[in-house]
Amino acid sequence: MKSFLNVQDLGNLHQALQEAVEVKQDRFQWQHLGKNKTLLMVFFNNSLRTRLSTQKAAMNLGMNVIVLDVNAGAWKLETERGVIMDGDRSEHLLEAIPVMGSYCDLIGIRSFAGLTDREYDYAETVYHQFLKYSGRPVFAMETATVHPLQAFADLITIEEHKRKPRPKVVLTWAPHPRALPQAVPNSFAQWMNAADVDFVITHPKGYELDPAFAGNATVEYDQMKAFEGADFIYAKNWSCPGVTCPDQYGKILDDYHQMMHWTVDAAHMAVTDNAHFMHCLPVRRGMIVSDDVIEAPTSLVIPEAANREISATVVIKRMLESL
C-alpha cells in the first residue's frame, strides 16, 4: 500500500478488520518489519491522539520515528507555486518534501482544510504533493477532507461492541463555536457505507456532506427521528461542506446559541436502543454532548481512541510489507 486516504485503499475491508483483531491479540509480532525503518510524522496542525497512537503503532512494528511540527521550530513553508517568496515563508514545500523523504521510509501527514477554497481542499493538494515529491508511501493522519485512521478505529470499535449483525449507526451534527473541517464526518460516512450497518446521517439543512462521502446513506433532518432505535450515535460538528450552498463553504450557518437543541443529551439517547455514544475526541462538553452521556457506561470514546493504535498498526504494517 503506497497511499492511505480512503477505505478502498485497504482492499477487502473484512480482511482488514480481521487483521485488526490479530494486531490486538499481539501487536508486537511484526517487529521485524520495521527494523532500521523510519516513520516521519509531519504535523501542520495540533494533535494528541494521532500523534501518540501513530507513534506507538510504529514502535509496535519496530520502527524509528521522527516527528516534525511544521509550525513549531521548522522554517515556515510556502505551499503555492509561482509566488515571489518575499514574505515570512522561507522554504518551499517542493524542496522540503523531497528532503523529508530522504530521511525516512514512510510519511504520515496531518494537514487540515483551510476552509476558504473548496476546490483546493477537496483536491487534497498538500497530501498529493507529499505523495508525488517524497518518493515514499504516504498516509493521512487527517488531511483536508478525510481522517481514515479515525474511521478505521471507529469501525473496529463498532465491530467490537455491536449487539446485532447489522446495527443502526447514526452520524449526527452537533453545535460548536468554531468552524471545523468535514474530514471526520466524511471518512466516517465513507467507512460506514462500506460496512455492514444501517447508516443514517442527521444534520440541519445546509450541512449536506459531499455525495462522494455520503453515498447512499439515509439523510434525516429530524434529529430525534434519526435517533429512534439507534445502536450507535456518532456525534461530530462540521462546517458547511458547500454542497447545497457553495458560497457558504467552511462557514457556520447559524449562531451556535440557536442550535443547542442539537447537543446530544439524555433526552436524545432515550429514544435510541440503549445506543453507544461515540466521538473522535477532542470533544467540547456541553456543546457536542452532555456530561452524563459521555460519562455513561455506554460511551465508547475511550475504547475508540485506544483503537487508534490498532488502526495505525494495521496501516503501517501494510505499508512496510509493500516497501
Q: CB nearer to ligand CP: give 150 or 263.
A: 150
CB of 309 to ligand CP, least distance (A): 12
Q: What is the DSSP string of 91-135?
A: EEHHHHHHHHHHT-SEEEEE----SS-HHHHHTTHHHHHHHHHS-
Check binding of 113 to ligand CP (CB under 6 A). no
Site string for ligand CP, 124-143 (x = CB under 6 A): ------------------x-
User: Do 197 and 166 contact (CB within 8 A), yes or no?
Assistant: yes
Nearest-approach distance from CB 128 to ligand CP, in angstroms:
21
- What does the block give as the cell for 70? 511544521
CA of 222: how far to CAs of 93, 150, 226, in Å? Answer: 45, 26, 6
Nearest to 128 by CA among 171, 97, 89: 97
* 49 interacts with ligand CP by CB under 6 A: yes
* Shortest separation between residue 49's beta carbon and ligand CP, angstroms: 4
Q: For residues 127, 98, 1 and 51, what is the CA-based torsion angle, rounded to 10 degrees?
A: -60
Give the residue among 233, 251, 272 at the shortest CA–CA distance from 180: 251
Secondary structure letter of residue 289 according to DSSP: B
Q: In whole angstroms, how close is the CB of 159 to ligand CP at the nearest point?
A: 19
Give the CA-trace dihedral at 27, 29, 33, 39, to 10 degrees. Answer: 20
Residue 46 or 218 with smaller CB distance to ligand CP? 46
Total of residues contacting ligand CP (CB under 6 A): 9
Minimum distance from CB of 193 to ligand CP (Å)? 20
Task: Report the C-alpha gap between 165 and 185 in whole angstroms.
Answer: 23
What's CA 269's distance to the chain center, in Å?
A: 24
Using the rule CB under 6 A, give the single segment among 46-54, 156-164, 174-182, 238-246 that binds ligand CP. Answer: 46-54
Q: Using CA of residue 100, residue 106, residue 110, residue 111, what is the dihedral sign?
A: positive
Among 47, 79, 248, 298, the residue binding ligand CP under the rule CB under 6 A is 47
Q: Taking CB positions, which residue lies at the least distance from ligand CP? A: 50
Q: At 94, is the secondary structure helix, strand, or coil?
A: helix
Residue 40: beta bridge partners?
66, 107
Q: 100 is written with which cell numbers? A: 523529508
Residues between 8 and 37 with contacts to ligand CP, criterion CB under 6 A: none
Minimum CB separation of residue 293 from ligand CP in Å reads: 18
Identify the H or E element spanning 52: helix 49-60
Which range, of 36-44, 48-56, 169-177, 232-240, touches ligand CP by CB under 6 A? 48-56
Site for ligand CP (CB under 6 A): which residue of 18, 21, 48, 95?
Answer: 48
Q: How far apart are CA 153 and CA 160, in angstroms?
A: 11
Please give the Cα distance from 203 to 74 (Å, whole number).
39
Which CB sits closer to ligand CP, 282 or 286? 282
Nearer to ligand CP, 47 or 248 (CB): 47
- Which residues between 258 and 317 bind ligand CP (CB under 6 A)? 280-282
CB of 95 to ligand CP, least distance (A): 28
CB of 150 to ligand CP, least distance (A): 5
Site for ligand CP in 137-176 (CB under 6 A): 142, 150
Residues at the site binding ligand CP, with contacts judged by CB under 6 A: 47-50, 142, 150, 280-282
